[in-house]
Amino acid sequence: MEIQFQEGIQAEITCVPNAFIDEYVAEANGDYVKVYLYLLRHQKEKLKGKEIGEALCLTDQDVKRAILFWEKKGVLKEGTARALERELQSEEAALLSEEKLSQKERLSRMERTSFFDEQKQEMDGKKREIDEEEFGGILFVAKHLMPVVTPSHVQLFEYMYQSLEMDAELIEFFLDYCCSLQKTNCRYMQKVAVDWHELGIRDVRAAREHVKNFDMAKGMKAGNGDGKTGGNTFSSKGKGGSSSGEKKGNRFLNFSQEEVDYDSLAKQKALERLGQFHTAK
């Protein structure tokens, strides 16, 4: 049989020792031979076990067995197989650590998943239509009372309006209440909204009474003997520690009249309703 290689295939040559052919080929299986030839070809390079396996379509265990075989035969230096084992263990530990980190990130994303997405099925079929004029007034109030209004906040307002069936006046009072406490975190606002709904609070009068009672209870717990806190949250001691006689300023009401677009009926109504909250205090 005449063997003829394709032209150019011998341009780069790897020399195989005759001892390999004479002494080891008969005993070595195909995978061992593949690993030996690959190591011989790349003997001046720094190789990794996984790279060898990927190049030869072998598993990590196949590579480890081949390395150990050639080490026992004296072809490779003693300790080569042990070094490969440590390398693979290190890579596996790094991979597990990366997977755990990825899992933590996924769990974190799940925990941050919007409450409204979690309740989507429950909300379907229970929604009432949004009155664009009223909802525009709610957003107008929110943007002037809150430091920032995020998409999650807008989802919350929609949830309150559609599923909790709060009217615009109650939602605007709710916004004023949360902002007076300087607690505009979406999760906090969501919890308060659901609590109000479960308590049967359906209008501003009931909400104002609830806030008043809550403040009185909190004042008594803090050591106020007569249990009076000077009214509701908006005129009582705020988060910053101001006295009960000192009324907290409201960024919304401090806006210059010239800055408001009074062509918008929704904005007018929102201003009127918010003014009524403070007049009632």
Map 134-147 to HEC letters: HHHHHHHHHHHHCC
Q: What is the pLDDT of residue 194?
A: 92
Count of domains forming the chain: 2
How many whole angstroms separate alpha carbon 38 and alpha carbon 35?
A: 5
Do 137 and 269 lie in one domain? The reply is: yes
Residue 201 falls within a domain, yes or no? yes
pLDDT at 49: 86
The 10 Å Cβ neighbour count of residue 16 is 13
- For residue 235, what pLDDT is reported? 38
Residue 105 shares a structural domain with residue 125: no
What is the structure's pLDDT at 271? Answer: 59
Q: Identify the pLDDT of residue 44.
A: 81
- Spatial distance between the Cα atoms of 67 and 84, rounded to a whole number of angstroms: 8
pLDDT of the residue at 224: 52
Distance CA 105, CA 216 (A): 42
Same domain, 231 and 101: no
Q: Exposed, middle or buried by CB within 10 Å (0-12, 13-18, 19+), for 36?
A: buried
Among 85, 110, 135, the domain-final residue is 110
Q: Which of 239, 274, 232, 240 is nearest to 255 (CA)?
A: 274
Give the model's pLDDT for residue 47.
85
Domain termination site, one of 110, 139, 171: 110
Instruction: Give one word for 182, left, alpha or beta, with left for phi > 0 and alpha for psi -120 to 50.
Output: left
Residue range of the domain that includes 249: 121-279
pLDDT along the chain (281 residues), means of 10: 58 84 90 92 86 90 91 90 87 77 64 52 61 88 90 90 89 92 90 92 91 83 52 39 42 41 50 59 54
| Strand, helix or coil for residue 54 | helix
Six token digits for residue 186: 């979406």
